[in-house]
Amino acid sequence: MANHVANNVFGAVLFLSYIAAALALTSIIIYDLYKLYERGKHLDGPENPDRITKKRRKMQVLVASSVLSFSMLSYHMLNFLIRSYQMWSQAHCVSLPHSLLSLRSISELYSNVAGLQIWRWSKSSTLFLDFAETICDEPRRFWWTAQALVYSMAWNMYMSLRGMFHTARRKSSLY
């Protein structure tokens, strides 16, 4: 198994694709929210001005909640990845820069990032395997994980259907 883990190119590609997809989809969502907000600025119909103000306020609350949620998730995920890389670098005798933020120039930053050996780490990392084993090693954890996944899938399907009906009717009653 150790030989398989040391050369897990498929796992590394999957891991880096996951990060790229998360960034791309988040960018699309942010762009769509921005377009929706901009369109809400130019509402000029027979609607009540108070109703338009309430819609804008709801939209701002949704955007703020989304940004807060994504920021918290990103912060904790990034800390988890950094900690994993630090533990891997100690085990493989790879030196780490003291801090990427204390560097004086872009070229110094690039040379430190290039020297991080992220590809080597991602090929030998067992992050997803460790995560899967942790959440499924006890029946109670497996049950709670299954409940969270089923709820998440049901909620996503509900929101997808609402979005499809919203698009089909061209009404702004989604939120």
In a domain, 152, yes or no: no
- Whether 7 is covered by a domain: the verdict is yes
Examine residue 82 and state whether it is found in any structural domain, yes or no.
Answer: yes
pTM above 0.85, yes or no: no
Residue 131 is inside which H or E element, if any?
A: helix 127-136
pLDDT at 1: 44
Please compute the mean of the pLDDT values over residues 1-16 and round it to a whole number: 68
Query: Does 38 reside within a domain?
Result: yes
Two structure tokens written together for 39: 């369109």
Work out the percent of the chain whose per-residue pLDDT is above 70.
73
Domain that holds residue 100: 2-137
**134-151 pLDDT, tens per residue?**
888 899 999 999 999 999
Residue 30 belongs to a domain: yes
Name which of 22, 47, 33 is nearest 175 in CA terms.
33
CB 172 within 8 A of CB 55: yes
Residue 174: what pLDDT?
45
Would the pLDDT of 95 be above 80? no
pLDDT digits (tens, 9 = 90+) for 100-121: 555 555 565 556 565 667 888 8
Q: Mean pLDDT of all residues in the chain?
A: 77
In a domain, 158, yes or no: no
Q: How many domains would you assign to the chain?
A: 1
Which one, of 84, 101, 100, 104, lies nearest residue 92 by Cα?
84
User: CA 73, CA 67: separation in Å to the nearest integer?
Assistant: 10
Both tokens assigned to 81 = 């990845």
The predicted pLDDT at position 90 comes to 85
pLDDT in tens, 29-41: 888 877 877 776 6
